[in-house]
């Protein structure tokens, strides 16, 4: 039987990917960001997943305005890094797990979460920056990855409550998969940031720190946060944080926080990262 | 027709909802076309001519040619699509964000290093109205 043994959340700032790709991780500006992932890198080397279900959003790379799926599950064998306008990132092709993905799709749809099945999709920095942060620069990613793309570009994204319940359905799907697999779920994006308009540069450290503190022991308090509050408090792009709630919903009621990290800024964004043990 | 939403009260913020998405469709699809190297080359060779390929409004075309980012957003542009345009120009998110806020890139970068723009005083249009 497959099981989800841990959850992870992290921001997916594109400038972090550029810093890695251009060899700038030791620079004074970037060093504190990467230092925040050292614990997780060591831990995951000792607790390797077979598969990561990676919740992220596409940034007008695979999906334009022609099709805007709220939840899209990558069911292909492979996903190429997207050319986001300056050439694809020099990172390995992502290997999927088509069999588990198909099982999840079938299970959650029968569980009344009507997601979109995607058999061809390039993956942008939203997916590849978290992989780089955790696995560094290997010749091949050390595990299979099932991309789960969530629309947060066109308002409204799914509510936090919907995301949390969707996470629960994913956990049920994984548990009913007959193969022995060690699965992690990652929720990415955030934390507070606003990239547009005269209010660009908004950072809300109080909101972010509360979110980091509460998501382990008391996710129900975060599930109730309404879209307006995300926009106002965490910035127009900070609403990406609903994706962390899919990750949290897929874990048990009780989890142990193994690692917590928060740093401002990476480019325009507050960086947050948690590693949650699901075996307590 | 402009409908009213609770999020319209957030100052300096344009929420990219279904209505704005509809209004900005061709502007954003123009930006999307810049994902392809040959389109970037054609656009750089003659911007106005390239824009003719997309049924955008004259205001949208002008905003693109002037790189008036706030105006593009007002006319239905979305920042992740506009990113294709400023990337074609060789500019960063931080450069563009600084432009939108009316700050120099250096001032903006300093603000971010100092912890970013605080939400205090920036939550409601009424707070901006009361500023000196």
* Residue A59 annotated among the catalytic residues of the structure: no
Three-state DSSP state, A42: helix
Say what the pTM is: 0.97
Q: In a structure prediction context, what are the per-residue pLDDT tens digits for chain A, which is 280 residues long?
A: 899 999 999 999 999 999 999 999 999 999 999 999 999 999 999 999 999 999 999 999 999 999 999 999 999 999 999 988 778 999 999 999 999 999 999 999 999 999 999 999 999 999 999 999 999 999 999 999 999 999 999 999 999 999 999 999 999 999 999 999 999 999 999 999 999 999 999 999 999 999 999 999 999 999 999 999 999 999 999 999 999 999 999 999 999 999 999 999 999 999 999 999 999 8
Question: Do strands A144-150 and A51-56 pair parallel, antiparallel, or not at all (unpaired)?
Answer: parallel
pLDDT score at A56: 98
CB contact under 8 A, A60 and B83: yes
CB contact under 8 A, B94 and A194: no
Tokens of A146: 């099932």
Listing DSSP states for A145-195 in one string gives: EEEEEE--SSSPPPPHHHHHHHHHHHHHHHHT--S--EEEEEEE--SS---
Residues A105-127 pLDDT 10s: 999 999 999 999 999 999 999 99
CA distance B72 to chain A (A): 10
CB contact under 8 A, A154 and B17: yes
pLDDT score at A280: 81
Residues A220-271 pLDDT 10s: 999 999 999 999 999 999 999 999 999 999 999 999 999 999 999 999 999 9
pLDDT score at B4: 86
Spell out the domain ranges in chain A. Answer: 3-266
Report which DSSP code applies to A234.
I
Number of inter-chain CB pairs under 8 A, A vs B: 150
Distance of CA A63 to the CA centre of its chain: 17
CA distance A106 to chain B (A): 29
Residues B86-111 pLDDT 10s: 999 999 889 999 999 999 999 999 99
A197, A209, A262, A270: which to substitute to probe chain B, counting the most B Cβ within 10 Å? A197
Would you mind telling me the total number of residues written for chain B in this entry?
132
User: Are the beta carbons of A225 and A145 closer than 8 angstroms?
Assistant: no
CB contact under 8 A, B7 and A231: yes
Q: Quick one: fold of B12-129?
A: Protocatechuate 4,5-dioxygenase; Chain A (1.10.700)
Q: Which of A59, A193, A259, A263 is catalytic?
A: A193
Say what the ipTM of the complex is. 0.95
**Class of the domain covering A3-266:** alpha beta
Three-state DSSP state, A199: coil
A chain contacts of residue B94, beta-carbon cutoff 8 Å = 15, 267-268
A chain contacts of residue B78, beta-carbon cutoff 8 Å = 60, 153-154
User: Are the beta carbons of A89 and A128 closer than 8 angstroms?
Assistant: yes
A261 backbone dihedrals φ, ψ, rounded to 5°: -145, 140
């Amino acid at each position: 039987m497959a099981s989800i043994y841990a959850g992870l959340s992290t921001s997916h700032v594109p400038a972090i990917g550029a810093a890695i790709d251009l060899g700038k991780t030791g620079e004074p500006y970037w060093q504190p960001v990467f230092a925040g992932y050292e614990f997780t890198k060591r831990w995951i080397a000792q607790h390797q997943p077979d598969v990561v279900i990676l919740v992220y959003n596409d940034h007008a790379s695979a999906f334009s305005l022609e099709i805007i799926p709220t939840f899209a599950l990558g069911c292909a064998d492979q996903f190429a890094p997207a050319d986001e306008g300056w050439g694809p990132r020099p990172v390995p092709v992502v290997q999927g797990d088509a069999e588990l993905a198909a099982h999840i799709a079938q299970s959650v749809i029968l569980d009344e979460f009507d997601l979109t099945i995607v058999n061809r999709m390039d993956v942008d920095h939203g997916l590849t920056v978290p992989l780089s942060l955790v696995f560094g620069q290997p010749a091949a990613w050390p595990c299979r990855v099932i991309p789960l793309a969530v629309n947060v570009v066109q308002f409204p994204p799914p509510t936090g409550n919907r995301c949390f319940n969707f996470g629960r359905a994913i956990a049920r799907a994984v548990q009913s998969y007959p193969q022995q697999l060690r699965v992690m779920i990652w929720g990415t994006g955030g934390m507070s940031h606003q990239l547009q308009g005269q209010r660009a540069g908004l950072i809300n450290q109080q909101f972010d720190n509360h979110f980091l503190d509460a998501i382990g022991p008391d996710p129900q308090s975060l599930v109730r946060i309404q879209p307006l509050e995300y926009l106002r408090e965490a910035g127009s792009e900070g609403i990406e944080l609903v994706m962390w709630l899919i990750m949290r919903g897929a874990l048990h009621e009780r989890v142990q926080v193994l690692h917590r990290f928060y740093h401002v800024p990476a480019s325009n964004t507050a960086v947050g990262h948690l590693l949650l043990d699901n075996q307590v | 027709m402009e409908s009213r939403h609770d999020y319209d009260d957030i100052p300096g913020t344009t929420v990219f909802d279904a209505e704005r998405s509809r209004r900005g469709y061709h502007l954003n699809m123009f930006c999307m076309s810049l994902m392809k190297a040959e389109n970037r080359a054609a656009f750089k060779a003659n911007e106005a001519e390239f824009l003719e390929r997309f049924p955008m409004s004259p205001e949208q075309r002008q905003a693109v040619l002037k790189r008036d980012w706030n105006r593009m957003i007002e006319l239905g542009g979305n920042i992740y699509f506009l990113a294709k345009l400023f990337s074609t120009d060789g500019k960063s998110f931080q450069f563009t964000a600084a432009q939108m806020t009316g700050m120099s890139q250096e001032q903006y970068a300093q603000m971010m290093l100092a912890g970013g723009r605080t939400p205090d005083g920036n939550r409601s249009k009424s707070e901006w109205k009361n500023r000196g």
